[in-house]
Amino acid sequence: MTLTSVINRLGMAAITLFGVGLVVFVLLRVVPGDPIAMMISPSATPADIAALRAHYGLDLPLPEQFFIWLGNVVHLDFGTSISLRRGVLQLIGERLPATLELTFAALVFGVLAGGIVAVAGVLLRRTPLEAAMDFVNGLFLAVPDFVWALVLVLLVGVLWPIFPLSGRLDPVHASDFMTPFYLIESIVRLNWTDTGDVLAHLVMPMLALGLPLAAVIARTLKEALSEAMVQDYVLLARLKGMSELRLVLQEALRNAVGPTLTLTGVQFTFMIGGTVIVERIFAFPGIGNMAIDAVVNRDLPLIQGIVLVFGALFIVINIAVDLIANRLNPRQSHG
Amino acid sequence: MADVAIPAPRSAGHFRSLKPLLDESRVVLAGGFLIILALIAIFAPWIAPKSPLEQDLMMASLPPIGFEGYEPGYYLGTDDLGRDVLSRLIFGARIALTVALVAATLAGLVGSLLGLASGWYRGWTDRIVSRLVDIWMSFPPVLLSVLLVAVLGSGLSSVIIAIAIIDWTRFSRVVRAETLAQGGLDYVTAAESIGFSRRHILWREILPNVAPVIIALLSLEMGIAVIVEAILSFVGLSISSDAPTWGGMVAQGRQVLHESWWVLVFPLCSLFATVLAFNLLGNGLRKALDPVMRR
């Protein structure tokens, strides 16, 4: 990818984000339900209400509101949350790390589990086990994270209560942390009690998000590996007496990983979208959970901020995936 | 879900027969399940043993058949308000299937038209539609659906419209790619050289070849719609909280999980089976209707 094409992509990304901002802004302005009505006390006078509306800029014409908001966003001023009465950026700063830790844990799990299943599937080609593995994999592909999250709640909540089902950590540890990156901070501080607690809370939502991802990776990688395993260079290596496992890991994997990587990137953005409901189910304090509360409370500035953050995350990941894919397969850049 | 990348069929032949469809045992199984589900939904008032709304606190939190404390007649137990779980499940199938059918059709209609137009006419149409798709794909779908239902107000029709507004991109992306691929094939060149109009070629030559993909996507989309409706009910935004929706039951079951697990288990199983069936049907249709993949 040349510099110009990167600049091109960034330009497109800016247009897309502008579009996202516009869509959500217009949508929110037609929402029935006055955000001010939800925050005032019953004794407020009409003058108080008017003052509050003016305070949040809700009395201006819509295009003007949009451009004021846009101008502020460019200066990284996302306004003040109406329901929580704190800076939107500050709120997102507190919650986003939880979501990031969750999604990266799920990504690592998905890649590892998917990779292992794919390699095992190729090694077990033409055995009865292969069919069984494909069947289970098909289930994980067909059923989305929402349902898996609830299946986990059921299994772990009722049948085998080993992991906590809600929250990000036991409240007794809450005062141990100075940053919102609990997992990273506890590891850096070598505080293993906290790390264990954070991880235990992470397992359930991580599995709900990561299992469908693992299934996608397992299927794509297995197909690519199976194709690579009948190529001449693998046959040659086999004639030299390499073991099947080494054939897969050393010869086939390198050539099969490209398409899987691109797909993983796409699936990763879907997974970030999935955090909204999975965080809700496990009462996990990330931005997805906060987003639903914001919608329920008609908290316009907060919704706008969160949606923009999600949009920016999607775009950054897409560009990063393209860059990595190009690095791995330079042939693509000539197309 | 993963994009459906399908090699272009070589001939302009369409649905030759249903035989390859019926050869797929999974399609038969999934289709059979969905037909039975549809019948249950249609005849819900005659099948359901109790009213789905009637509360009876004397009969609250009864376990299902085979467990201690089972009360005859309440086969799958009752929830904490004493409502019959089985009857609510049966009426819930109505809402789930209505949403699936109408929302998927709407999304399919809008998405396919835009996909056909941008893949065939290209130029500005394509640029605008592609940009719209990019913008749409930058929203987390669950957040967008929650937002839309907040805008439209809760209710069945809001849920349906929200799903259509969100998921048309699934159709337009695949249909556009497929139309682009078809547009480069010999039969289109032949049709052009005979002097058929662009519009004629689109509707009479290309659409029939893209149709199998659209049908497969429709089935997959119905599965997605069932889930989105359940998610919205779970969040408390779908239909009134009394209404017997699977998502609403699941949300309620999550609350009383430790006292009465059956309130969560049965609607969750229904969701699981229905989504799986739509998926198997969609993937099976895709294989069976596509002449190249059929080999």
DSSP secondary structure, B230-260, as one string: HHHHHHT-SS-TTS--HHHHHHHHHHTTTT-
**Residue A27: inside a domain, yes or no?**
no
**Nearest chain B Cα distance for residue A39, angstroms:** 18
**Residue B9: inside a domain, yes or no?**
no
**Residue B55: inside a domain, yes or no?**
no
Q: Give me the number of domains chain A comprises.
A: 1
**Residue B84: inside a domain, yes or no?**
yes
**Residue B59: inside a domain, yes or no?**
no
Residue A119 CA to its chain's centroid (Å): 26
**Residue A65: inside a domain, yes or no?**
no
Select the residue of A143, A220, A277 nearest B142 (Cβ to Cβ): A277
**Residue A261: inside a domain, yes or no?**
yes
CATH number of residue B193's parent domain: 1.10.3720.10
pLDDT for res B241: 65
Indicate if the pLDDT at residue B259 is higher than 50: yes
**Residue B180: inside a domain, yes or no?**
yes
Query: What is the DSSP annotation of A274-334?
Result: HHHHHHHHTT--SHHHHHHHHHHTT-HHHHHHHHHHHHHHHHHHHHHHHHHHHHH-GGGGG
What is the domain range of residue B283? 20-50+71-294
Select the residue of A144, A281, A303 nearest B147 (Cβ to Cβ): A303
**Residue A289: inside a domain, yes or no?**
yes
Q: Least CA distance to B277: which residue of chain A?
A: A142
pLDDT for res B1: 41
Taking contacts as CB-CB distances below 8 angstroms, the residues of chain A near B254 are: 150, 153, 281
> Which two three-digit tokens encode residue B244?
């017997």
A291 and B146: CB-CB below 8 Å?
yes
**Nearest chain B Cα distance for residue A195, angstroms:** 27
Pairwise CA distance, residues B136 & A307, whole Å: 12
> Which two three-digit tokens encode residue B249?
């039951």
Q: Give me the number of domains chain B comprises.
A: 1
**Residue B194: inside a domain, yes or no?**
yes
A144 and B131: CB-CB below 8 Å?
no
Q: Does B75 touch chain A (CB under 8 A)?
A: no
What is the domain range of residue A122? 97-300
- Chains A, B: CB contacts within 8 A come to 128
pLDDT for res B39: 94
**Residue B79: inside a domain, yes or no?**
yes
Whether the ipTM is more than 0.85: the answer is: no
Using one digit for the tens of pLDDT, what is the confidence trace for B264-282? 889 999 999 999 999 989 8
Using one digit for the tens of pLDDT, what is the confidence trace for B158-177? 889 989 998 999 999 999 99
CATH number of residue A109's parent domain: 1.10.3720.10
pTM here is 0.84
Indicate if the pLDDT at residue B206 is higher than 80: yes
**Residue B63: inside a domain, yes or no?**
no
pLDDT for res B108: 95
Per-residue pLDDT tens digits of chain A, which is 335 residues long: 577 877 888 888 888 888 888 888 887 777 666 666 666 666 777 777 777 777 777 777 778 888 888 888 888 788 888 778 888 889 998 899 999 999 999 999 999 999 999 989 888 888 888 888 888 888 888 888 899 999 988 888 778 878 888 888 777 777 777 788 888 888 888 888 888 888 888 999 999 999 999 999 998 898 888 888 888 888 888 888 888 888 888 778 877 787 788 888 888 888 888 899 999 999 999 999 999 888 888 788 888 889 888 888 888 888 888 787 777 765 544 43
**Residue A179: inside a domain, yes or no?**
yes
Least confident of B3-7, B140-144, B149-153: B3-7
**Nearest chain B Cα distance for residue A19, angstroms:** 6
Interface of A with B in 201-230 (CB under 8 A): 216, 220
B123 falls in which pLDDT band (50, 70, 90)? confident
The C-alpha angle with vertex B228 and arms to A162 and B254, in degrees rounded to 5, equals 30
Q: Does A283 touch chain B (CB under 8 A)?
A: no
Least confident of A216-230, B45-59, B101-115: B45-59
